[in-house]
Amino acid sequence: MKAVITDYYYESLEQEKKVFSDSGIELEAYQCKTEEEVIRAAGDCDALICQFAPITAKVIQALQKCRVIVRYAIGVDNIDLEAAGKKGIYVCNVPDYSLDEVSNHAVALLLDCAKKLTYLAGQVKRGESSYTVVKPLFRVEGKTLGLVGFGRIPQLVAKKMAGFGVNIISYDPLMNLEKAEKLHVRPVEFEELLQQSDYISVHCPLNDGTYHMFDRHVFGRMKEGVIFINTARGAIVKEEDLVWALQNRRIAMAGIDVTEVEPIPPEHPLLQLDNAVVTPHTAWYSEEAVASLQLKAAQEAARVLAGEKPKNPVNHPQF
């Protein structure tokens, strides 16, 4: 049996090599960027692990005997789930490798924006040291935080932000009511979240239903002066409308770790705004998270090739 890693940006694949070697599975690794490159590299594989390579319906149709596709990530938006399911291929993610990292990053962006720290630091470097440069600034305690999505990462955000004395509400069509009650989070409908939240933090997956979920119409219905945080996926937000909302101060500040095009072009309008803090999709990163991600991705692929069910399937293959 053979496993293929279509693309990766890690310094070493020693963990993957050991997992597959111990299971008697051959491993090949590439740096594919196009459908054609993926097909050439992985057409005869039994398991495929990918990072950013396009695993489209065309690619999946060309996979002769693949049984499982694992992505080095939580999101699987570069994989055609429907095509994989029809061909009887499991698609799996690694949902728990960076829960602490991403939740910390969301909290850090929120507090950075609430206290205008990045802006203040820039002003000091320019010789402006008065508090008046950030007026108005408001107290965090007593504000309302709205979480869009209530999976494991926003649950951790809720737990961490509770210590700052904020009220927490959440919208999720699949709301875990037991967890919400335990964390003192009040479930609400989307419209109420928009109207009540002083801070909005996005944690939902990217799919057909959430693509450009946040556009000019939604920003226009938010509470004036809201702080908007996105550590989920860039395409959940229509960026030109986010720029509009920031320019017109419909949104006071935005903390963004994910963009529609990555890396974000240096000339992008978001980078010209003093009320936007943009980081380069690094919320997931720590040395521990990288090691965990690589190991768990390989273990999941080897598990399926050993005849076991995967731990983290995101589709329902038709066998």
Q: Write down the pLDDT at residue 319.
A: 72
- Say if CB 258 and CB 277 are below 8 A apart: no
**Residue 188 shares a structural domain with residue 117:** yes
Q: Write down the pLDDT at residue 318.
A: 84
**Residue 104 shares a structural domain with residue 171:** yes
Active site residue 281: yes
| Separation between Cα atoms, residue 167 and residue 177, nearest integer Å | 17
> The domain spanning residue 50 has which CATH number?
3.40.50.720
- Each residue's pLDDT, cut to its tens digit, for the chain (319 residues) gives 999 999 999 999 999 999 999 999 999 999 999 999 999 999 999 999 999 999 999 999 999 999 999 999 998 999 999 999 999 999 999 999 999 999 999 999 999 999 999 999 999 999 988 889 889 999 999 999 999 999 999 999 999 999 999 999 999 999 999 999 999 999 999 999 999 999 999 999 999 999 999 999 999 999 999 999 999 999 999 999 999 999 999 999 999 999 999 999 999 999 999 999 999 999 999 999 999 999 999 999 999 999 999 999 999 898 7
- Say if CB 258 and CB 204 are below 8 A apart: no
> What's the gap between Cα 74 and its chain centre?
7
List phi, psi (to 5°) of 295. -65, -45
**Residue 168 shares a structural domain with residue 263:** yes
In a domain, 145, yes or no: yes
In a domain, 314, yes or no: no
In a domain, 318, yes or no: no
**Residue 114 shares a structural domain with residue 219:** yes
Give the active site residue among 128, 262, 288, 308: 262
Q: Write down the pLDDT at residue 98.
A: 97
What are the structure tokens assigned to 42, written together?
A: 């992985």
**Residue 210 shares a structural domain with residue 233:** yes
Give the active site residue among 67, 105, 233, 250: 233
**Which residue range is the domain that position 34 belongs to?**
2-97+287-305
In a domain, 118, yes or no: yes
**Residue 213 shares a structural domain with residue 148:** yes
**Residue 10 shares a structural domain with residue 113:** no
The pLDDT tens digits of the residues spanning 172-193 come to 999 999 999 999 999 999 999 9
Q: Write down the pLDDT at residue 183.
A: 98
In a domain, 193, yes or no: yes
**Residue 25 shares a structural domain with residue 144:** no
- Say if CB 275 and CB 246 are below 8 A apart: yes
Q: How many domains does the structure of the chain reveal?
A: 2
Give the active site residue among 152, 186, 268, 281: 281
Q: Write down the pLDDT at residue 129.
A: 87
**Residue 293 shares a structural domain with residue 253:** no
Angle of helix 152-161 relative to helix 99-115, nearest 10 degrees, comes to: 50
- Say if CB 3 and CB 25 are below 8 A apart: yes
